[in-house]
Structure 1
Amino acid sequence: MTKRTITLNCDMGESFGMWEMGNDEAIMPWVDMANLACGFHASDPDIMLNTIKLAIKHDTQIGAHPSYPDLQGFGRRKLDMDKDSITNMVIYQVGALKALAESQNTQISYVKPHGALYNSMLRDLTIFDAVADAVACFGVPLMTLAMSDNEKLLDIADKYELPLLFEAFADRAYLSNGELAPRSMSGSVLSQEEEILDQVKQIAQYGKVRTIDGCLIPIEADTICVHGDNDQAIRMIHKIRDAL
């Protein structure tokens, strides 16, 4: 048995104006990679800059977290956009975060799409191509879901000479094809501490995950996504860190 070296990533910087979400100050010391909202589903220039400063303080990698332009829906609604518009939209958002990071003498390290954009690019190779085209402009990796078959995604990434970072989820159930179980499905979100820790250990130690219907499938992940939007979740991150 070989334990894999796996980082933790978390969606952060998702406040907006006077609206506060998450607990970034409590989470940042415990994660390796912070996925920062870029203004289209959450955040604003002030929040982006303050979260960059917090990441610098804790030596946490900064990643851009672009989405569809959907503030009201928190980026969870798929929008009908053509390929070029998706590419331009991602460049616009990542470019804004990159500029703010450089104003603090630091850099973005990767890009991880958010919400419906993330899900869409996994199901539609045209959308994945559009996102890959945008991310390749910045010379950083694109984070995507580690599935049992990533060959088609790798082929597109190779076209753009784009490195991929593969992630797994600590608290989401999986389908037998390696995709995340939709939130509408019963049992799609893991809530019990023991089952979350078991899933993390299985991914880290064996490179496998048990699906919602009981199958065991391979998952080769570089990083695990955790969520810290309440005190219980933050305690869970501490235990996941200890388990890794």
Structure 2
Amino acid sequence: MKLNADLGEGQHWDNRNIAHTLAPYIEIANISCNQHAGDEDHIKETIEICLNHGVAIGAHPSYEDRKNFGRISHTLSKEELRAILLRQWDWLSKLVSSFGGELTYFKAHGALYNDMTSNPEIFSVVQETIDEISKDLIHICSPFSSTKSEKVLKEGFIDRLYLPNGRLTPRSRPNAVHDDIDKVLQQIQSLKKNKVLTEDGSEIQLFVETLCLHGDNELLVENIRLIKETINEN
């Protein structure tokens, strides 16, 4: 199962770009388009590190809201949403091309990702925009997203607590993010079997094809080798 990570958001580890630590262990890097976090120099460095490690690169667009790290919903018209997606895609695509690479994945960030999952109209605008960019572009999204596209990877989160309905527990609630590596490893093992333990202790089915590692979660970064070993276990 492929491991993807959200990068280019300004994080560092051991006084270096966090991509140095994570790139050897991931298959896909979802790189910030500079509208929720990061800066151009950091993003360029992230791109170069990932390409040097053979990591596939995807765009990680968001609502244009650096103040809230892209984690607050915004009301946009279809035209406005399409415009910000294309603008962010074009910006990152040019940077990646300057290093001899190309964007092959697309994964929305934060509130936009969640809004797409709960609102089919928003998802439709995003998917139509992706198809406009390229029919071959692979869309990483929630298992609950309303899509018939074959170019989709359903995603599970290794550090987030799930609700009994399969949605993510809001970050505003206690224990929404796992702070115990044993819980993370147990969740990886469950997700590999297409199931997950939820907030009320019940176990539900959840079909996923890729696992997400949040680059801003230090627990995951310091245990990246153990996480990768657990993913690769038969």
TM score, norm. by length of structure 2 = 0.90
Aligned pair count reads 226
Residue in structure 1 matched with residue 2 of structure 2 by the alignment: 7
Residue in structure 1 matched with residue 147 of structure 2 by the alignment: 154
Residue in structure 2 matched with residue 145 of structure 1 by the alignment: 142
- Structure 1 residue 225 displacement after superposition: 0.7
2:33 maps to 1:38: yes
- Structure 1 residue 187 displacement after superposition: 2.2
* Structure 1 residues 133 and 201: CA distance shift in structure 2, 3 A: same
Deviations 1:165-193 (A, max 9, x none): 11100010111221101112222211111
* Structure 1 residues 80 and 21: CA distance shift in structure 2, 3 A: farther
Deviations 1:107-137 (A, max 9, x none): 1111110111111111111111111111112
In 1, Cα distance between equivalents of 2:109 and 2:218: 23
2:225 maps to 1:238: yes
Pairing 1:60-99 to 2, within 5 Å after superposition: 60-99=55-94
Deviations 1:70-124 (A, max 9, x none): 0111111111111111011111111111122122221111111011111111111
Q: Which amino acid aligns with 2:46?
A: T
Answer yes or no: is the 8 Å Cα contact 1:209–1:216 preserved in 2. Answer: yes
Answer yes or no: is the 8 Å Cα contact 1:23–1:229 preserved in 2. Answer: no
Answer yes or no: is the 8 Å Cα contact 1:36–1:62 preserved in 2. Answer: yes
What is the root-mean-square deviation in Å for CA atoms of aligned residues? 1.9
In 2, Cα distance between equivalents of 1:71 and 1:176: 31
Residue in structure 2 matched with residue 135 of structure 1 by the alignment: 130
Residue in structure 2 matched with residue 3 of structure 1 by the alignment: none
- Structure 1 residue 231 displacement after superposition: 5.1
Answer yes or no: is the 8 Å Cα contact 2:157–2:212 preserved in 1. Answer: yes
Pairing 1:216-231 to 2, within 5 Å after superposition: 216-229=203-216
In 1, Cα distance between equivalents of 2:16 and 2:123: 28
In 1, Cα distance between equivalents of 2:191 and 2:16: 29
Residue in structure 2 matched with residue 169 of structure 1 by the alignment: 157
In 1, Cα distance between equivalents of 2:207 and 2:143: 6
Identity %: 33
Residue in structure 2 matched with residue 195 of structure 1 by the alignment: 183
2:67 is paired with a residue whose SS is coil
Deviations 1:195-223 (A, max 9, x none): 1101101111x211111112221121111
In 1, Cα distance between equivalents of 2:65 and 2:215: 22
Q: Which amino acid aligns with 1:31?
A: I
2:198 maps to 1:211: yes
Q: Which amino acid aligns with 2:224?
A: I
Instruction: Name structure 2 gaps, 5 residues minimum.
Output: none
